[in-house]
Chains A and B, each alone.
Chain A
Amino acid sequence: MSIHARFRLPYPAFTLDIDVDLPAGGVTAVFGRSGSGKTTLLRCIAGLEQTLDGSLIVSGETWQDGSYRRPVHQRALGYVFQEARLFPHLSVAANLDFGRRRIAESERRVSLAQVVELLGIAHLLERRPERLSGGERQRVAIARALATSPRLLLMDEPLAALDQARKQEILPYLERLHDELAIPVLYVSHSPDEVARLADHIVLMEDGRAVAQGPLTETLARVDLPLRLGEDVGVVFSGQVLERNAEWHLARIGFAGGEIWVRDGGAGVGRTVRLRILARDVSIARHRHDDVSIMNLLPATIITHAAEDHPALALLQLQVGGTRLLARLTRHSANRLELAPGQQVWVQIKAVALLG
């Protein structure tokens, strides 16, 4: 069960030249700058690009090989475009039913009621698309794609056309999608925030090529990647809520590597949550200091260090139990502390983002 995609497609600006194996579960973020070929890759997988130079196997089914290209409408996929592309002549309900009634009864694994509930659009069913807000439109578009019970959901920057408030409105639905449906998702994005919140795997793209791919946690913790999640170099991993302290409004999260206190985000005890720690929020001490304001102090081992974009900075990769962290510090400090791989140090974590 996996997706193997190989495509070569020349464009005036770049040549898409890609050969990737994608996991058949979870959310795989296809991440990169605008114009790096992310959307083109997605369109190739959907069959919307007329290329014959490639092959595509989805869960053992050949969708493209040699001169064979399965027509788009015969591929069991869902596609969410950047603009919702709802049919303006149909009501929301009819839009949802458009794809669903075109698949065989036996193929319907997701019920209409389920997707309507999942995306919270029950009150919109009778409306026309022109009477929906941008965020509502995108939710309907996602529901419409899901209603076809796709074996693969392709999402092309579904939040890019929305303002910040609308993005925050939709992200929780996408997280539910991720948690509740066992449909593999390819999610194209250039937003580090979305990737950190939603992705399990990541494919980093640059100039039409996949420069790195792998599980999100491992890939983000690498120090050798030419393209990181923008300015926000950092790691993402998951943990479990162990305790909620009502007095200080803090929650204790256990993860592979220790425990950490974060601002209480409302998640109940036992819930699995995602944490994101940016490299710039991690500092290093040779010895344990308890007389600092920072709450989260963890013992760590330095694995390696790398140069940063700016010559004043260095990036340190650290092992904290079973988790890898990145720390950004000045080369001057690294030199002063005589930091070297293999060394035991203490990491001081100034801020942890709880991603829900």
Chain B
Amino acid sequence: MSPADLAAVWLTLKLAATTTTVLLLVGTPIAWWLARTRHWAKEALATLVTLPLVLPPTVLGFYLLVLLGPDGPLGRLLQASGLPSLPFTFAGLVVASVIYSMPFVVQPLQQAFEAIGEHPLEAAATLRAGPWDSFFAVVVPLAWPGFMTAAVLGFAHTVGEFGVVLMIGGNIPGETQVLSMIIYNHVEALDHDAAHRLAGGMLAFAFIALLLLNLFRPGRRR
């Protein structure tokens, strides 16, 4: 593997790890709210979160670029508050990946929270556990498989993204050039051997990640 390849592998893992962490922090409260609320806005938010599943990544990337670009409303806001511009930076990639992989984290968490239901929480409250206490002492352990699924899917999906990264990140080696991007470059250059090394590795990674998830899913028939 060339140094550029290695840099892309490292950057991809860093992006996926950062994105997954941010997603678990942001996705958990969203999933919790979606699982428990009867608010009218629930379906609207659920749809919004699901949108990246069906939207072409280039469309998502395009609108993010428009929003975050120097002339976009969010870009201007960032500029006005003295923050660095996001497009074509690693931070920009994280923001885009968080939005793009959101459904893969929120949906398993929401399903896990819904499966727990009201009963254990009521029991915990009558045993003197306040809301936060109940969440960490009862909900997190009971929803643990959901958290695992969410983390693995969020990570794997971020590793595999292409269209959004292309739009918002460009193809800057060491900065925004992720694996899928460099594979594309190799194929364009008709360097199929180099493409195989990376593409094969990604295939193996995705397979192993999903295999582990299935193997350690509780309640799996043995």
Contacts and interface: CB of A to CB of B under 8 A. Distances in A.
Q: Is chain B found bound to chain A in the same assembly?
A: yes
Contacts of A19: none
The interface centre, meaning the residue of A74, A81, A88, A89 with most chain B CB atoms within 10 A of its CB, is: A89
Contact of B127 (A48, A83, A99): A99
Contact of A145 (B124, B126, B137): B126
B122 interface: yes
Interface size of B as a range: 10 to 19
Nearest to A154: B126
B181 to A, nearest CB: 42
Given A85-B120, A87-B120, A79 B128 contact: no
A72 B119 CA distance: 14
Nearest to A141: B123
Interface string B139-153: 001100000000000
Contacts of A99: 126-129
Interface in B101-120: 119-120
Nearest to B119: A85
A102 B133 CA distance: 10
A46 B128 CA distance: 12
B120 A73 contact: no
Nearest to A72: B125
A46 B126 CA distance: 8
A78 B123 CA distance: 10
Nearest to B137: A98
Interface in A91-106: 98-99, 102-103
Contact of A81 (B123, B137, B138, B142): B123
A145 B126 CA distance: 8
A170 interface: no
The interface centre, meaning the residue of B125, B133, B134, B142 with most chain A CB atoms within 10 A of its CB, is: B125
A303 interface: no
B142 A98 contact: no
Nearest to A81: B123
B29 interface: no
B130 A144 contact: no
Contacts of A72: 122, 125-126
A89 B141 contact: yes
A71 interface: yes
A212 interface: no
Contacts of A89: 138, 141-142
Interface string B72-99: 0000000000000000000000000000
Contacts of B133: 73, 102
A158 B138 CA distance: 22
Contacts of A98: 124, 127, 129, 137
Contacts of A18: none
A99 B138 CA distance: 12
A78 B142 contact: no
Given A48-B126, A77-B126, 19 more contacts: A46-B126, A47-B125, A48-B122, A48-B125, A71-B130, A72-B125, A72-B126, A73-B126, A73-B127, A73-B130, A85-B120, A87-B120, A87-B138, A98-B137, A99-B129, A102-B128, A102-B133, A103-B128, A145-B127
27 contacts: A71-B125, A72-B125, A72-B126, A73-B125, A73-B127, A73-B128, A73-B133, A79-B123, A79-B126, A81-B119, A81-B122, A83-B119, A85-B119, A85-B120, A85-B122, A87-B120, A87-B142, A88-B142, A89-B141, A99-B127, A99-B128, A102-B127, A102-B129, A102-B133, A144-B127, A145-B126, A148-B128
| Closest 3 pairs (CB-CB, A-B) | A99-B127, A79-B126, A102-B128
